[in-house]
Structure 1
Amino acid sequence: MNPTPPKGISIELSVGELAERSGVAVSALHFYETKGLIQSWRSAGNQRRYKRETLRRVAVIKAAQRLGIPLATIRQALDSLPQNRVPTAADWRRLSARWKADLDDRIERLMHLRDQLDGCIGCGCLTLKECPLRNPLDALSKQGPGPRLLDPED
């Protein structure tokens, strides 16, 4: 159960208050809500209201977005959290552990891409029929279109 907030602090926030406190634009909060990342309810005056705990959820969303985590993945992670309390440090450790392998893989792929950029544009780019250094006789064309050496997963 959530503790009672100190006197003068509301347990609910308007969309403007949430935007101000979180540093996220109102339009972004509305977008997050349409994507199921956060939830609100309507007051008697038909204004959106958010639980104070939504501040922590928005912080998790922002951190995950900075890591390049797709919104659908963020939503899956947030759906695994209890709705009746603020996400804790332990929750964050559990969520971030799920994303670590994906991030490590992306970092490795980006470093590989960075290291390949100075050699050529990656053979099979559709503008070069043959590259005598990396793709003699256009051998990579048999593997499909695009920069075959720059993105080996394709």
Structure 2
Amino acid sequence: MAWTVGEVAKRCGIKVSTLHFYEKKGLIYSSRNAGNQRRYQKEVLRRVSVIKAAQKMGITLEEIKQAFASLPDERVPSAEDWEVLATKWRESLNQRIAYMERVRDRLTGCIGCGCLSMKSCPMYNKDDQLENEGPGPVLLERN
């Protein structure tokens, strides 16, 4: 059974324009009927679900596209495929979580950007000593 773009969008809880965007990015595929209207196979539901789940975890569309490219014949991810993809993404997610925890814990203090505009900055970055560690919020980049 082939699904219309509207049916897929409704079932996946996304906008039709999102499906068009995913297709333009090469993340999903459709065929065309005699009236040149898009038609999707039901397997697209799984691909869109994987895309949505990965995006919620902070995985970029480019990373998702690369992961999908590793699947033979552009097939939909199986449960085993999802396990492999999730394992590959786990370390990246752990790094993002650690970074976000550092941001959360240091949010109201000096971040080491070198601006010296906060009252607490001289305590942490007197005379911009952190400049030697590189540009930007270097304290947030520390583990």
Which ranges in structure 2 are unaligned for 5 or more consecutive residues? none
Query: Contact 2:47–2:77 at 8 Å: present in 1 too?
Result: yes
Is contact 2:71–2:77 with CA below 8 Å preserved after alignment? Answer: yes
How far did residue 142 of structure 1 move?
3.6
Hey, what's the Cα distance between the residues in 2 that align with 1:63 and 1:43?
Answer: 30
> Residue 74 of structure 1: CA displacement?
0.4
**Alignment equivalent of 1:95, drawn from 85, 88, 99:** 85
For residues 48-105 of structure 1, what are the alpha-carbon distances to aligned partners after superposition, in whole Å with 9 as ceiling and x for unaligned? 0111110100000000010010000001111222347542211110111110000011
> Percent of pairs identical after alignment?
50
Report the Cα distance in structure 2 between the residues aligned to 1:42 and 1:65, rounded to whole angstroms: 28
Q: Partner of 1:49: helix, strand, or coil?
A: strand
**Deviation of the 1:122 alpha carbon:** 1.1
TM-score, normalising length from structure 2?
0.88
Relative to structure 1, the CA distance from residue 83 to residue 56 in structure 2 (aligned partners, 3 Å threshold; closer, same or farther) is: farther
Deviation at 1:16, TM superposition (A): 0.7
Contact 2:116 2:122 in 1 (8 A): no
- 2:112 match: 123
CA distance in 2, matches of 1:112, 1:25: 35
Structure 2 counterpart of 1:4: none
1:144 shift after superposition: 3.8
User: For the Cα contact (< 8 Å) 2:114–2:131, is it kept in 1?
Assistant: no
**Does 2:66 match 1:79?**
no
* Inter-partner Cα distance in structure 2 for 1:115 and 1:17: 44
Q: Which shows bigger deviation, 42-51 or 86-95?
A: 86-95
Aligned 1:1-154 pairs, distance under 5 A: 11-83=1-73, 85-118=75-108, 120-126=109-115, 128=117, 131-152=121-142
- The question of whether the paired residues in 2 share the 8 Å contact of 1:131 and 1:137 is answered with no
Partner deviation per Cα, 1:88-125 (whole Å, 9 max, x = no partner): 2111101111100000111111112211224x131325
Give the CA RMSD over aligned residues: 2.1
Q: Which has the higher helix share?
A: 2
Distance in 1 between residues matched to 2:9 and 2:73, nearest whole Å: 20
What TM-score results when the alignment is normalised by the length of structure 1? 0.82
- Give the counterpart letter for 2:28 in structure 1: I
Letter in 1 for 2:15: A
Q: Which amino acid aligns with 1:126?
A: C
**Per the alignment, in what secondary structure is the counterpart of residue 121 of structure 1?**
coil
What is the aligned residue count? Answer: 142
Query: In the superposition, relative to structure 1, how do residues 85 and 50 fare at CA in structure 2: closer, same or farther (>3 Å)?
Result: same
